[in-house]
Chain A
Amino acid sequence: MSPILDSIGSVKAYGWGKVLSLPAFESIATYSLSSAQSNVEFASIPQTYKHLQVRAIAQTAGSGQFVKMQMNSDTTTNYNSHIIYGDGSSATGSSYGNRADIPIWGNNTGTASNTFAVCVVDILDYADTNKYKTTRCLDGYDSNGSGVIALTSGLWRSTSAITSIKFTGFSGNLNQYSHFALYGIKGA
């Protein structure tokens, strides 16, 4: 069966007596690191989608949160975040106000060198110039005796359309084999 006909979240169109399905989830750009580097940035993001999704695996060279996310090169304290997470010992909720980034949880500098933290980040209504921008994220890692799993929300207090997103190692470089993929989700 055609992958196009199998696409989910699709828009259906009718013509010539057949049901066509227009794909609604598209790959925009990808970074696959062949060596360590400090950050990756998706720039010149097309404004033709309703939402964005970033799916990533990453490993950081230093300790601390896995990566931090910034929009449109805004490095001022225009971000807020809430999180609920579990680390195998306790379940905790925290909030972070007036940050210079949205933290994505999961320090993966654990004992296993080939263990990478992962995340799925949704950036909602990213092109809407009438509202602040909200993100939601499922992220975490496990390293056989250590680890964290988190549900994170983020707010960028700007009505500007998002045209770029940067991911930076919170403390140290992003290691080789880290992989960031940006997708666009179309509206109806």
Chain B
Amino acid sequence: MPTPTYNCIATTTTTSAVSAVTFSSISGSYTDLVLIVTQSAPNTTNHGVRLNNDTNFNYSTTAVFGTGSSAGTERKTTSSGDGGRRSFIWTNNGSTAIGNSVIHIMNYSNATTYKTVLSRGNMINNVLMASAGLWHNTSAVTSVTYSASDSTVDSGSTFSLYGIKAE
């Protein structure tokens, strides 16, 4: 018998400008996590995801993007400065335009593999992007932080975390 899944774990809407939003104490009872974000930001900055509040140089990312006039690719390694301290999602265009992203944290609760963060993002009037990020750690993920690097996301930004369980 198929099992219903894809449950909302938590959701939040920012009521002021914040530099990061964290979902903590995440249950290990799901297979994948999906974080859906709608946000705007005042400054041009890289956004990204940190796992288990790990702020060390333990992340690397490969990305592809299109701007409407060209396509490009980008790589961050663990030695890429700030790019090595989060799973890179995109570059915010520093306007009031709304950006959306869907971020998959695959097999987050196993304690065997490094964790891969697969994301798709759109920034209206600016860029669309996809990325695969690696957290170089085999620990089960218990917290997810959306980080705006050295900037903030605006009040009214929404963040929803879902769990998907494979039977």
Chain A interfacial positions (CB closer than 8 Å to B): 3-4, 6-9, 23-30, 46, 55, 57, 84-91, 93, 106, 112, 114-120, 138-151, 177, 179, 181, 183-184
By Cβ-Cβ distance, the 4 closest A-B pairs, closest first, are: A86-B64, A86-B73, A23-B4, A88-B75
Complex interface: chain A residues within 8 A of B107 (CB): 57, 116, 118, 179
Complex interface: chain B residues within 8 A of A28 (CB): 2
CA distance A147 to B133 in the complex (A): 9
Quick one: which of A26, A112, A139, A140 has the most chain B CB within 10 A?
A: A140
How far is the CB of B31 from the nearest CB of chain A, in Å?
Answer: 6
Q: Are A112 and B5 in contact (CB under 8 A)?
A: no
Complex interface: chain B residues within 8 A of A140 (CB): 62, 118, 130-132
How far is the CB of A110 from the nearest CB of chain B, in Å?
Answer: 10
CA distance A88 to B136 in the complex (A): 18
Complex interface: chain A residues within 8 A of B166 (CB): 27, 30, 55, 179, 181, 183
* Interface membership of B153, Cβ < 8 A: no
Binds A, one of B18-26, B43-51, B109-117, B143-151: B109-117
* Interface membership of B61, Cβ < 8 A: yes
Q: Are B62 and A86 in contact (CB under 8 A)?
A: yes
Complex interface: chain A residues within 8 A of B6 (CB): 7-9, 23-25, 183
A-contact bits for B1-43, CB 8 A (1 contact / 0 none): 0111111100000000000000000000001100000000000
Q: Are A6 and B7 in contact (CB under 8 A)?
A: yes
Extra A-B contacts (19), CB below 8 Å, given A25-B4, A149-B63: A3-B4, A25-B6, A26-B2, A86-B73, A114-B113, A116-B114, A118-B104, A118-B107, A118-B118, A120-B118, A138-B104, A142-B61, A142-B132, A145-B75, A145-B77, A151-B64, A177-B110, A183-B6, A184-B2
Chain B interfacial positions (CB closer than 8 Å to A): 2-8, 31-32, 60-66, 71-75, 77-78, 104, 106-107, 110, 112-114, 116, 118, 120, 130-134, 136, 138, 162, 164-167
Q: Are A149 and B64 in contact (CB under 8 A)?
A: yes
The answer, among A4, A88, A141, A148, for a CB contact under 8 Å with B134, is A141
The answer, among A46, A88, A93, A112, for a CB contact under 8 Å with B62, is A88
CA distance A184 to B61 in the complex (A): 30
The answer, among A6, A7, A8, A149, for a CB contact under 8 Å with B131, is A149
Q: Are B60 and A120 in contact (CB under 8 A)?
A: no
Complex interface: chain A residues within 8 A of B134 (CB): 112, 115, 141-144, 147
How far is the CB of B135 from the nearest CB of chain A, in Å?
Answer: 10
How far is the CB of A148 from the nearest CB of chain B, in Å?
Answer: 6
Complex interface: chain B residues within 8 A of A30 (CB): 31, 166-167
Q: Are B31 and A181 in contact (CB under 8 A)?
A: yes
The answer, among B2, B60, B78, B104, for a CB contact under 8 Å with A27, is B2
